[in-house]
Structure 1
Amino acid sequence: MPHADSLILTLVGGFVLAFVFGMLANRLKLSPLVGYLVAGIVVGPHTIGFVADTELAPQLAEVGVILLMFGVGLHFSLADLMKVRKVAIPGALVQISAATALGWAMGRWLMKLSDLEAVLMGFALSVASTVVLLRALEERKQVRGDVGRLAMGWLIVEDLVIVIALVVLPLLIIQPGETLSGGELAASIGWTLFKVAGFSAVMLVVGARVLPWVLVRIAHTKSRELFTLGVLAIALGIAWVAYALFHSFALGAFLAGLVLNSSPLGHNAAERSLPLRDAFAVLFFVSVGMLFDPSILVREPLAVLGVLAIVIVGKSLAAMAITTAFRRDRATTLTVAASLAQIGEFSFILAALSVSLGGMRQETHDLILAAALLSISLNPFVFALIDRMGGRPVLAPPEPPRVTDLI
């Protein structure tokens, strides 16, 4: 492919096929994410026909990661988390630990992976997709109900864990030829977390005053283009600063969104960034699909079923045990369990970073992608199953109108 047209061909191929397969997935009552991933597989190097630029696509996908994390920060609600903190915080942490342990056990004993790679696989399988969860709750009209707030609070905790993990992960994966004692590793992690805390404090204290002031000044120009460009510059600029300090775009983008979320123009900023965020998020999922080798489904069917069982059965049982322990009703318990029985964008980010750092093999990465594709596709059927088991709350019949209401 000539270098001069590789960018436009990658964009055209990615967007057009993502639209086609996304529409097809939607008609089949599946998440459009499945269509975007399939589009990436079609234009990837593991299938015949047109192959997109495999070096350019991941760079475009990195922009998608930045805007995804920026969106997470923009929609982060500490108030909503506090309302369900007694269940969501311990629940998310225990569920992540349980799924990670299951992944480690399977990887270490059945797949003969190293301890580090097995833990990374389990950790990637432990976090659910916010995009898939929101779609499921919206279809069931439960986003603003008690169940929706609990499930979203649960995922907020998972998102925070992911942000920290993306910063610490490069320190845990020791490159060949390097030697690092336990004390040196602990000191390195402690120093990095100290710098992260300092950077976060500066962003939340100084940035909370400066960035809203900048947005207000831009808004006074009454230019939609300048305001959109300003929001994008803030997200990308702070993400680049965080990358320069901690090798993590995600942390800076998340904090930028978090700061703007508390500003008077935060809602406007979210609206302006949404089209760009959606477009580059699609490219992110397409690029993930390009890395997937579908032959893993034939070569390692038992391993695929194993990781899928961890995602759908293991995580669901852990969530059910936790919510039951906190004496939540049957409908809430089943709905939260079904909501977490899938993995998505953050699992891709963790797996891709692990591969790039040398801590995970491509075959393990493919297993995670296979589990994501299958779990997202099966999630509607999981919800249908829990509805049969009493997952949808029974609504009380409407009260008859009073005489005074009819006058």
Structure 2
Amino acid sequence: MGFRFRRSITIIPGIRLNLSNGLPSLSVGPRGASISVGKRGTYANLGLGGGLSYRTRLDRAAAASNTAAIERSESKEELRNTLQSTIEQMESATRQIINVHTLTPNPAQGHSMNELRDHYVKAVTSPYAFAAPERPEKPVIPPAPIKPTIELETGFLKKLFESQEDRQERYEAALAIWERSMLDWEREKALVEKRYQSTRMAWAEQYALWQFESSNHQAMITTNIEIALGRFDSDSVFFETILDDALQNTDWPRDTSISFEVLPEQSLIKLDVDLPEIEDLPQSYFILNRQRTEIVKKEMTQKAIRETYARHVHGILMRLIGIALYALPFERVSICGFTQRVSKATGNLVDDYIIECDVDRSAFQEMNFSSLDNIDPIVAISRFNPNRKMSTTYVFQSITVNGFTNI
């Protein structure tokens, strides 16, 4: 079973953050009166009503030099304070995405077995109320880059005086760019198609299960409570429905695919998560320039990027473990995380497992859930002796999971 989460999230009321191509884009303030920061600049947005709006760029003081009001020192200081506040809000939002473990729920405050048992009896003696799973939409793949021809577009004079050698050289340069673009396009197309097929297969399984359960449920509406209670302890579909509902109501900062299986007889929850690629996380940060009049992008070091990625990966595992133990009063969680890469042996996209962890409820609940800000998720997951190959500089290598190694 699998599903996908929304890409855009609301961090706190009034702040919306989006991750795209490694660059965060942030909107601060209520709709109709906000400041947005992205790779194209910093803008103030003001809705005037009646479909009219006003938008102006804030990070170029020179662009407003012809406005007398901006030239006043108090207005400049106000601009600087606004930009500084925007940077701080952006840093805060980015930290909350990287430190996703701080949203881990406390399993001790989750569902009890008695609560689920009462819910189960009520559910199996009532009409079937679950809607059919929605079929995923087929992704739209952009057209392939157009291959250049020897007769490249150029001005009349250049065509008139350009030599055959120059034209051939210009064509070969354009052809090289096209070949690189085609490689990028083919990789992206293969990745999109593979993920769609995975989602489509997951939907087909869910839909077949829904049809089966709907038919069975209608047949057993008249079943007495004693028989229902006898089925409760081993009804994995019911427990998977509870876990699925908890995961569906969880916001993540990127599209995330999770498969899971519930084994009530073993008091075990198994999770398989498609982790983000390191390129999905921010590769840069933002500061004010020396005059404090413009927002400037700074590139992060490679080690800092890898450390951020490792912290985020371990934070995802920690949060998922907490959600699973909160949703279901089971004793164990087994979780695996993988990324997707192109196999050097076959050229196909493969699932590359990089971390695996088995966790007991009692050990997990030893964490101080009222002080998650002070917990390092890498250290926290390390307490459970995870199966991983991570260097001291936060480089992950492939691991064997359940006797299988990706090639």
TM range (shorter): under 0.3
Give TM-score, length-normalised by structure 2.
0.20
Give TM-score, length-normalised by structure 1.
0.20
Bigger proportion of residues as helix: 1
- Larger relative contact order (CA 8 Å, sep ≥ 6): 1
